[in-house]
Amino acid sequence: MLEKILFYTFGCGAVLTALGMITRRNAVYSAVYLVGCFCCVAGLYVLLNAQFLAAVQVIVYAGAIMVLFIFVIMLLRSDSPAEGTETISFQRIFGFVFSLILLFQIGFIMKAVVLTAPAAEYTTEKIASIGNTELVGQLLFTKYLYPFEVVSILLLAAIIGAVVLAKKKI
Amino acid sequence: MNMLSSYLYLSAILFLIGVMGVLTRRNALIIFMSIELMLNAVNLAFVAFARFLHSMDGQIFVFFVMTVAAAEVAVGLAIIISVYRRRETVNVDEINLMKW
């Protein structure tokens, strides 16, 4: 029962802040709403027994990535008055209609398909006895060691790419 | 299994709000934030599946998605900065030439 109440609280919070994010005119307000949305999603992760991911969500997403966004927004003076004029006519209406069509498609698929899969070994009790963070670490360094190393190369490439792109002269 | 479908519906709604943001807004930074929102919605679906199928693979995948999102943000914001330096705008309707 408590789980349901918390789910609906965080879920409504996430949806409302996400709607606030796409409707604000000023990009800084959008960024602040998005931070709220990420925090609500982090709360949902805790409900789903993914405490490590909840912490990473708050630190990396709501912390690092959004600070980067706010820095760039403040560097660029991005709240342009041109937002009101439409180059493509009826763009807003078409965007709204197409996303509603997509919502109905997803809803239809979820109604039509019965989701079944063989349950794996990590039950809630087993995760609790080992510890969520410890289990993630174990899997990262055993079963997922190769993707883990590839991700480190990806991050290196991203650092170099960002530095090169943001240089004064390309 | 009932709780799983509520999580999936929530994830679908968040994803759709992200799609709506990408289709209706013209500010490149807000479009970028909407993409982040879509990634987050997919992460939520991953974690929900991991919880209800008693598997850890979903959580590890979310970890990797977060890393890729961080890399994407770093490179994407650098691209936006360098476009702004040339065109003095982040309105995607005005940025319609690959070369000028």
Q: From the list B12, B66, B82, which residue is nearest A103 (CB)? A: B12
Identify the pLDDT of residue A120. 74
What pLDDT digit, counting tens, does each position of A51-102 carry? 999 999 999 988 899 999 999 888 887 655 555 566 666 778 888 888 889 9
Distance (Å, whole) CA A68 – CA A12: 26
ipTM over 0.95 threshold: no
A95 reaches B (C-beta below 8 A): yes
**Average per-residue pLDDT for chain A:** 86
Answer for the pair A27, A79: CB distance below 8 angstroms, yes or no: yes
Give pTM, 2 decimals. Answer: 0.89
Cβ of A83 within 8 Å of Cβ of B17? The answer is no
Closest Cβ–Cβ partner in B13, B23, B70 for A15: B13
CA A87 to chain centre: 30
3-state SS assignment for residue A57:
helix
pLDDT reported for residue A80 = 55
- For tokens 């998605």, name the residue: B65
Express each pLDDT in B22-59 by its tens digit: 988 888 889 999 999 999 999 999 999 988 888 888 89
Residues of chain B neighbouring A15 (CB-CB closer than 8 A): 10, 13-14, 17
Chain B interface includes A170 (CB < 8 A): yes
Beta bridge partners of B27: B91
Sequence-ordered list of residues with C-beta below 8 angstroms from that of A124, at least 6 positions apart, any chain: A49, B51, B54
B-chain CB neighbours of A99 within 8 Å are: 16, 19-20, 23
Give dist(CA A132, CA A55) in Å, integer: 12
Q: How does the average pLDDT of chain B come out, rounded?
A: 88
Q: Name the minimum distance, in Å, from the CA of B65 to any CA of chain A.
A: 10
Q: What angle do CA B81, B29, B20 make, to 5 degrees?
A: 155
Do the Cβ atoms of A50 and B79 come within 8 Å?
Answer: no
Band the pLDDT of A7: cuts 50, 70, 90: very high
Cα–Cα distance measured from residue A101 to residue A111, given in angstroms and rounded to the nearest whole number: 15
pLDDT attached to residue A56: 92
- Residue B38: CB atoms within 10 A of its CB come to 17
* pLDDT tens-digit readout, A125-140: 777 778 888 888 888 8
Does A157 score more than 90 pLDDT?
A: yes
